[in-house]
Amino acid sequence: MLRDPVSNVQRTYSQVSPREAEKLNLTSNASPSFISSISLLPEGARSMIQQNGQYDIVVAVYDNEPTSIISYALTSKEYVDWIADKPNGVERGSNASLINKMNSVASDLSTWRSFGSLDLDYHYGNYSSEDALATVGSLVADPKNSPHLRISFEDESSLTLGKVKFSVTCYFAKEFDALRRKCCPSEVDFVRSLSRCKRWSAQGGKSNVYFAKSFDERFIIKQVTKTELESFDEFAPEYFKYLTDALSSGSPTCLAKVLGIYQVSVKHAKTAKETKMDLMVMENIFFKRSISKVYDLKGSARSRYNSDTTGANKVLLDMNLLETLHTNPIFLGSKAKRRLERAVWNDTSFLASVDVMDYSLLVGVDEERKELVLGIIDYMRQYTWDKHLETWVKASGILGGPKNASPTIISPKQYKKRFRKAMTTYFLTVPDQWSS
């Protein structure tokens, strides 16, 4: 009898040790009413204390760290009142029933959870085989019925840094708040993680696009284009419903969750210079992982080979994986393979239903735990007329490349079928006692 060493498939979650939790709770356990000395603040920080804000915590604001501005907005009284519906006591917008459903799906969690990405035990074998969008359409409509919230504040006290006006637009504020309640131990932890960030040069990312990581590396912060934001604005209700249904039913999914989308505006009074960025906050599926290899897989052979594999954190592509599998295939246990296929099937069905395509399966190889960590990313853009044109150009072979290789971008339904087939082919099932 051959024992299946890879029989378990689990959703990822990160346990917070008591010692770590004690460190994290320094601000939530205290109720500071003042800052004793401005010298206690890090260089470049603004000493802006909320008036009757949330959690009685102080968030230092950094002009060049947009997540610190988001954190400040999330602790404001205006945001708290909006989420709690204090002004009129009535749910705003048309998404109240969805939010209530999300709040009733599961009990409060004491750990960070990822309902999207999958951890799969694996076994290596030697067998052969756009400019920022100022507003979304509904934002300029009646604010009382809009799912978006804009919070503005300014710092007039800083003599060295100068007067600055800040503005944060929280897109789908209530829906994302309800989602985070199911994935984070508390909103304080989310705010704390975003209070500092660091720029990050993401391998394989688009040029001139802002990338960052929260200091604790729990979250990835990525700039979204006007087209991506407009697309999400269209299918957002389906996105929240899909995750709600997955949470309530336990249905497998490997979507890397987007936990918030914000527009951050910073305007310096002295220079009149204003910068705006639309940012999404996404879970880092590799948090607290020792990842030796990373693959970005689309199920396509066209232009999907990275010839530069030297250096750390290089993102490899489909053809790199196929090249490796000839001599060193990756095997999954039968249960893990079935769960992966079910998750991919569910997610691609949802994405195709909202006309989203060109997404990728991000795969990290954790050598220490002998696990694969997977999550579907880059699912913000819908199939539009320019994608139709790009499909035609690539299929015609005008740009070169093998004509028998299907283009990276096709229709959503075709993309779904090709993606499913490829992911089934890439990861083999380890032989067991039932194999002939």
pLDDT of residue 318: 93
Token pair 């992911």: residue: 423
User: Does a structural domain hold residue 26?
Assistant: yes
Provide the β-strand partners of residue 429.
Answer: 332
Residues 6+ apart with CB under 8 A from 28: 55, 57, 186, 188
> Which pair of structure tokens corresponds to residue 222?
């990525």
**Domain of 155, in residue numbers:** 9-429
For 233-248, how does the pLDDT look when each residue is reduced to its tens digit (9 = 90+)? 999 999 999 998 898 8
User: Does a structural domain hold residue 436?
Assistant: no
User: Does a structural domain hold residue 1?
Assistant: no
User: Does a structural domain hold residue 237?
Assistant: yes
Does the pLDDT value for residue 431 go beyond 80?
no
pLDDT of residue 152: 94
Query: Residue 161 carries which side chain, given as an amino acid letter?
Result: L
Provide the number of structural domains found in the chain.
1
Q: What is the CATH number of the domain that holds 219?
A: 3.30.800.10
- Model pTM score: 0.76
For 115-169, how does the pLDDT look when each residue is reduced to its tens digit (9 = 90+)? 445 666 665 443 333 444 444 444 444 556 789 999 999 886 666 667 889 999 9
User: Does a structural domain hold residue 81?
Assistant: yes
Q: What is the DSSP letter of 7?
A: -
pLDDT of residue 138: 44
Beta strand extents in 15-133 (DSSP E only)? 45-46, 61-62, 112-124
Q: What is the DSSP letter of 205?
A: P
Q: How many helices (H) and strands (E) does the chain have?
A: 12, 17
Chain Cα centroid distance, residue 337: 24
User: Does a structural domain hold residue 3?
Assistant: no
User: Does a structural domain hold residue 157?
Assistant: yes
Does the pLDDT value for residue 109 go beyond 50?
no
User: Does a structural domain hold residue 434?
Assistant: no
